[in-house]
Amino acid sequence: MSGSKLPHSAVLSPRKRASVFGSVCVFAFVLLLAASALADGGGQNGPVLSLGAGLAVLFATLSLAVVLGMPLFVIIGLIATSCFLFLSEDFNGFLTLDRLSDTGAEMMTKDVLLAIPFFVASGAIMSAGGIARRLVDVARALVGWMPGGLAIAAVGACVIFAAISGSSPVTVIAIGSMMYPRLVDAGYEKRFSLGLVTAGGSLGILIPPSIPMLVYAIVAGGSQPIDVAELFLAGVLPGLMIGVLLAFLAPFNAKNVERERFEFKVVVERVRDGIWALSLPAVILGGIYTGVFTPTEAAAISVIYSLIVELLIHRDIGPQDIPKILTDSVVSMGTILIIMLLAFGLNAFLVEEMIPQKVVAWILDKDLTPVTFLLIVNLFLLLVGALMDSISAILIIAPLLAPIGVELGIDPIHLGIIFIVNLEIGYLTPPIGINLFVSASVFRQPLGEVTRGVVPFIGMMLIGLVAVTYIPTIALGPVNKIMREKDFYEPFPEAREVHVMLEDEDSDEDVVGEQFKPPAEAVIGPTGERVKTLAEIMAEEDAKEEAEEKAAAAKATAADDEDDEDDEDDESDEGETEGEPKPVIGRPKGKSLIPDDPDED
């Protein structure tokens, strides 16, 4: 029983002060942004409470909820419902809340959502078997001969395992519990070994497939749809880079350590043993980027793949283990999904009230350039990452920050990767860093020791973070090359003059809701993507009109077939980016293509 007390008693005091402060800070920030934005505009049609009173009610409810330790979905739900009830411009009594159900139902029609339970399940099935041992063996055979080889092998095994399991704590438990004793036996310093496996495990969310990335793509795609396939691809290079940075420390800490010998025969033998685990990421990513299947389908295939591999080939688990594994993954899926549903409602409110645009105007007033904006975002996210769990942080902050990034010319994919790297570091920073607790508990070491152990690794990750933030090519290069047919090099977004809200305030675009897209200056950078999506709709519309004018009989069936194929694929279809003609933007017809908001009176 005393064991079960360990995590709390060990952490209570550092957690105490910083957490209270942090939780309040995060919410205060969100509220402040909303307040500063609402203060300039809106309100004529009469929200039910004045801004000050509304925010006071909101703030009081939130503080109460936080102090009472209520579940996160209640807190986000409370923000969403009170925003709708007290701050919404077209207040309609209790019926206003129906919008929450509508946005929730709308979210449930997104195919990408399906990828979450599938990836969670396949990761859980694979991890339940003995793939950790197989991967460690492969990595040791491959790099064990290098100076610091065993430590490098640990990082390598973490990278591959993370790609399969998609979960950071699971990686620490699986790879760490296998590698830590071996590292210490081999003569590595205890503190270094602890830090290495704890930090290596955190790579899990950056290397695709990654659940936080899926969540980001869904909740941050309000103002501009985010392609999961692109986000996955963008995570590959930063993930490998941070892996290399972590491994870079190994040779300096391997002074009294014997190296292993390289034997080709052993490599072949071990690769043969681990080939089925090694090829899962290859199947998933290869399938997605050759266009054989979408990320959602890839997720379903990976479940079947892992079932076949674990039950029939590796035979490390039996069918009797399956219900437990799947139940665990479903439960974690359920907790995430209901939060997402409510966060989506909040997202809809933010977009409807054009809060991101208003915040952008406010930011531009302060002469913030993308460089300073990203710096602030990084500092803020590091703080948030230290105080909140990564998925919760994405759910709360991404809907607000992503549209702001878009307005400032920062690619949402790039911003997404910055988000993920920050939150990855958050796994290692006290007081909430979950990997620290897992490590402390798995390796039976005091929390302080683990924390001290990860410090040099956090340093390396910060270097990685700066590189990823200010060299967009690291994240966007592969995406440009493979998915967008652009040059590998991606320039850093330049500061530009945007006066979004002044121009748009009087138009009725706020009722157009999340489809709102300012048509101007939409050629470069991330907006290029967005316009293409709209442009594609327009092009299709044109094609349809032309086709109607011609005689139906003369219509070539081949073209029809192609259209059908495109329609079948979900939004990740790469056809969007492939050399579609760019129609003139901003012509009057464009407006009529924007779907009507269901709530428009």
Partner 1 sequence: MEFLKKLNGWVYQVERFIVVSSLLVMSLVMFLAVLHRSYADEDSVLFGKIAKVLGAERDDATWVSMQGVADWAVPLGLVILVYLGFRTASRRPLWHDGKAKPGATRAEIHGEPLPRLKCLIYTIGTSLAAWGLMVLLFGTGSVEQAECIELDLANQTNLACGLFPAGLQWAASFSLVLMLWVSFLGASMATHENLHLKLEAANRALPERLRRITGLIAGILTACFCLLLAYLGYRFCAVKYDEWALSDHLGALHDSTPIPFWASFMIVPAAWLLMAVRFVGEGVLAFRGELNEVLPELRELEKQKESVVS
Which residue in the set 48, 275, 375, 511 belongs to the binding site for partner 1 (CB under 8 A)?
275
Q: What is the 3-state secondary structure (H, E, C) of 305-325?
A: HHHHHHHHHHCCCCHHHHHHH
Please report, as a single letter, which amino acid is at residue 88.
Answer: S
Would you call 94 helix, strand, or coil by DSSP? strand
β-partners of residue 94 are 92
How many CB atoms are located within 10 Å of the residue 553 CB? 5
Q: Is 290 in the site for partner 1 (CB under 8 A)?
A: yes
Which residue in the set 45, 69, 508, 595 belongs to the binding site for partner 1 (CB under 8 A)?
69
Residue 323: asked if its preceding bond is cis (omega within 30°), the reply is no
Residue 21 vs 145, nearer CB to partner 1: 21
How far from the centroid of its chain's Cα atoms is residue 249's Cα?
27
Could you say which residues in the range 337-356 bind partner 1, by CB under 8 A? 337-339
Give the contacts of 342 (CB within 8 A, at least 6 positions apart): 73, 76, 77, 80, 100, 104
Q: Is 169 in the site for partner 1 (CB under 8 A)?
A: yes
Residue 128 vs 400, nearer CB to partner 1: 128
Which residue in the set 54, 195, 212, 431 belongs to the binding site for partner 1 (CB under 8 A)?
431
Please, are residues 138 and 270 in contact by the beta-carbon 8 Å criterion? yes
Which residue in the set 140, 314, 414, 517 belongs to the binding site for partner 1 (CB under 8 A)?
314
Task: Please give the Cα distance from 67 to 70 (Å, whole number).
Answer: 8
Handedness of CA 404, 410, 413, 414 (dihedral sign): negative
Which residue in the set 179, 194, 388, 512 belongs to the binding site for partner 1 (CB under 8 A)?
388
Q: Is 445 in the site for partner 1 (CB under 8 A)?
A: no
Which residue in the set 55, 79, 87, 121 belongs to the binding site for partner 1 (CB under 8 A)?
121
Task: Please give the Cα distance from 183 to 197 (Å, whole number).
Answer: 10
Task: Please give the Cα distance from 213 to 208 (Å, whole number).
Answer: 8
Residue 557 vs 592, nearer CB to partner 1: 557
Whole-angstrom CA distances from 274 to 1, 115, 157, 307, 437 are: 38, 25, 11, 16, 30
Q: Is 441 in the site for partner 1 (CB under 8 A)?
A: yes
Q: Is 572 in the site for partner 1 (CB under 8 A)?
A: no
Which residue in the set 315, 544, 555, 591 belongs to the binding site for partner 1 (CB under 8 A)?
315
Could you say which residues in the range 71-100 bind partner 1, by CB under 8 A? 71-75, 77-78, 81, 97-98, 100
Q: Is 266 in the site for partner 1 (CB under 8 A)?
A: no
Q: Is 58 in the site for partner 1 (CB under 8 A)?
A: no
Which residue in the set 226, 249, 300, 498 belongs to the binding site for partner 1 (CB under 8 A)?
300
**Token reading at 392:** 């919760």
Q: Is 273 in the site for partner 1 (CB under 8 A)?
A: yes
Which residue in the set 32, 53, 67, 282 belongs to the binding site for partner 1 (CB under 8 A)?
67
Q: Is 541 in the site for partner 1 (CB under 8 A)?
A: no
Q: Is 271 in the site for partner 1 (CB under 8 A)?
A: no
Residue 209: asked if its preceding bond is cis (omega within 30°), the reply is yes
Least distance in angstroms from the C-beta of 178 to partner 1: 13
By CB neighbour count within 10 A (0-12 exposed, 13-18 middle, 19+ buried), where does 318 fall? Answer: exposed
H-run or E-run covering 8 = helix 2-40
Q: Is 312 in the site for partner 1 (CB under 8 A)?
A: yes
Task: Please give the Cα distance from 529 to 537 (Å, whole number).
Answer: 13
Could you say which residues in the range 16-35 bind partner 1, by CB under 8 A? 16-17, 19-20, 22-24
Which residue in the set 293, 362, 380, 492 belongs to the binding site for partner 1 (CB under 8 A)?
293
Q: Is 36 in the site for partner 1 (CB under 8 A)?
A: no
Whole-angstrom CA distances from 199 to 100, 539, 559 are: 39, 48, 52
Q: Is 114 in the site for partner 1 (CB under 8 A)?
A: yes
Least distance in angstroms from the C-beta of 400 to partner 1: 18
Residue 189 vs 569, nearer CB to partner 1: 569
Residue 554 vs 558, nearer CB to partner 1: 558
Please report, as a single letter, which amino acid is at residue 479.
Answer: V
Among candidates 120, 123, 82, 81, which has minimal Cα distance to 103?
81
Calculate the CA dihedral of residues 455, 458, 462, 468 and round it to 10 degrees: 170
Q: Is 319 in the site for partner 1 (CB under 8 A)?
A: yes
Which residue in the set 268, 304, 523, 559 belongs to the binding site for partner 1 (CB under 8 A)?
304
Which residue in the set 10, 31, 51, 330 belongs to the binding site for partner 1 (CB under 8 A)?
330
Q: Is 555 in the site for partner 1 (CB under 8 A)?
A: no
Task: Please give the Cα distance from 347 to 107 (Å, whole number).
Answer: 11
Considering only 7-15, 152-160, 243-251, 448-456, which stretch makes contact with partner 1 by CB under 8 A?
7-15
Among candidates 385, 418, 400, which has minimal Cα distance to 234?
418
Least distance in angstroms from the C-beta of 273 to partner 1: 8
Would you call 69 helix, strand, or coil by DSSP? coil
Residue 162 vs 254, nearer CB to partner 1: 162
Q: Is 296 in the site for partner 1 (CB under 8 A)?
A: yes
Residue 224 vs 329, nearer CB to partner 1: 329
DSSP 147: T
Q: Is 317 in the site for partner 1 (CB under 8 A)?
A: yes
Could you say which residues in the range 126-155 bind partner 1, by CB under 8 A? 133
Residue 434 vs 511, nearer CB to partner 1: 434
Q: Is 105 in the site for partner 1 (CB under 8 A)?
A: yes
Task: Please give the Cα distance from 176 to 121 (Å, whole number).
Answer: 21
Q: Is 215 in the site for partner 1 (CB under 8 A)?
A: no
Phi and psi for 501 in degrees, rounded to 5?
-80, -30
Give the interface size with partner 1 as a residue count (CB under 8 A). 99
